Amino acid sequence: METKTVKNSIYGKNFRIYDIFLKSILFLSFFIVSAFFIYFLFYIFEKGIFHLNFKLISNVVDGVEKGILPVIINTFYIVFLTLLIATPIGIGCAIYLTQYEKNQKLFNIVSFLTNTLASIPSILIGLFGYSLFCVGFGLGPSILAGCLTVSLTVLPNIIETSKESLLSVPSSYKKGALALGASKFKVIFNLILPSAMPGILTALILSAGKIIGESASLLLTVGTANKLPKNILTHIFKSGKTLTLHLYFTAGNGNSHDAINLCFAVAIILIFFSFFLNCLTKIIGHFAKNKS
């Protein structure tokens, strides 16, 4: 039996000129964004690749560190310690809101507050961190004060992403486990939390990228020291700037051509870190998708 093609159906619709117009607009937008990104990378690498050497990373003049090796170590130090502070708080808040709290009004209030915290400018969080941690707690400009301050900037992302990951777990998992006699605590930590872990890990990796690129909230709290840590435990009470702050101060105080080239070399390292974290996010997402 011959099937008639309806003129206005999704399969037999007429050719429309504005379809090509809209497709052209989309293609042009894609081309502009891609061209700008490629030009941005090419410009950064062209200016800084020839100044990226071992001397830049590890250079000691008269016993004083001139290279950026201490800055790199401080960056990883701050990323690790900040996630160590923010992760249990963020995930714990998400677990309580999704698994224990049944008051929808409180749920909405906390969501509103986390979104509001995420929209606050980083420099205001830095000013608050300086007043509370550096002055109020007597920590002074230190890595610990900087980590406590930056944890406030990444908490909204961890809470919201963890909350969505926990809510995405099918409710049948929880109902089935409870029907078999498992306690609510075991259901949450042995079933729901592992199922939501890929999304939570992705949030943590993206938060690590945000910490690496953070400058305003660290500007008032972490200090500007450039020294290698002598004791890994007591180093958190010392001052120590990150790669982003080092780039900021070098660009602000450098009037020579070599100082600007040094900024581009440091920028290449920051781009490499961002690229590494994004690749790690893709790998975790792909692994979680295949596993599920």
Residue 88 has what pLDDT? 93
The CATH number given to whatever domain includes residue 166 is: 1.10.3720.10
- Flag whether 279 is in a domain: no
Strand partners, 64: 61
Residue 66 has what pLDDT? 67
- Flag whether 138 is in a domain: yes
Residue 248 has what pLDDT? 85
- Flag whether 58 is in a domain: no
- Flag whether 153 is in a domain: yes
Tens of pLDDT along the chain (292 residues) come to 445 545 555 555 566 777 788 889 999 999 999 999 999 999 998 888 888 877 777 765 445 556 788 888 888 889 999 999 999 999 999 999 888 877 788 888 888 888 888 889 989 999 999 999 999 999 999 999 999 999 999 999 999 999 998 888 888 888 888 888 888 888 888 888 888 888 888 888 888 888 988 888 898 899 888 787 788 788 889 888 888 888 888 877 666 667 787 888 888 888 888 888 778 777 776 776 666 5
Residue 1 has what pLDDT? 46
- Flag whether 146 is in a domain: yes
User: Is 242 exposed, middle or buried, given 0-12, 13-18 or 19+ CB atoms closer than 10 A?
Assistant: buried
User: Is 17 exposed, middle or buried, given 0-12, 13-18 or 19+ CB atoms closer than 10 A?
Assistant: exposed
Residue 62 has what pLDDT? 46
- Flag whether 61 is in a domain: no
Residues 139, 220: Cα–Cα separation, whole Å: 12
The phi and psi torsions of 273 (rounded to 5 degrees) equal -60, -45
Best CA proximity match to 270, nearest among 214, 217, 232 = 214
SS3 64: strand
Q: Name the DSSP class of 2.
A: P
- Cα–Cα distances in angstroms (integers) from residue 201 to residues 114, 126, 162, 195, 220, in the given order: 19, 26, 9, 11, 29
Domain around 154: 72-242
Residue 216 has what pLDDT? 86
- Cα–Cα distances in angstroms (integers) from residue 224 to residues 49, 132, 221, in the given order: 25, 19, 9
- Flag whether 199 is in a domain: yes
Best CA proximity match to 74, nearest among 268, 229, 205 = 229
- Flag whether 86 is in a domain: yes
Q: What b/e readout covers 194-216, taking b as 16+ CB neighbours within 10 angstroms?
A: ebbebbbbbbbbbbbbbbbebbb
Q: Report how many domains make up the chain.
A: 1
Collect all residues with Cβ–Cβ distance below 8 Å to 191 and sequence separation of at least 6.
173, 174, 177, 182
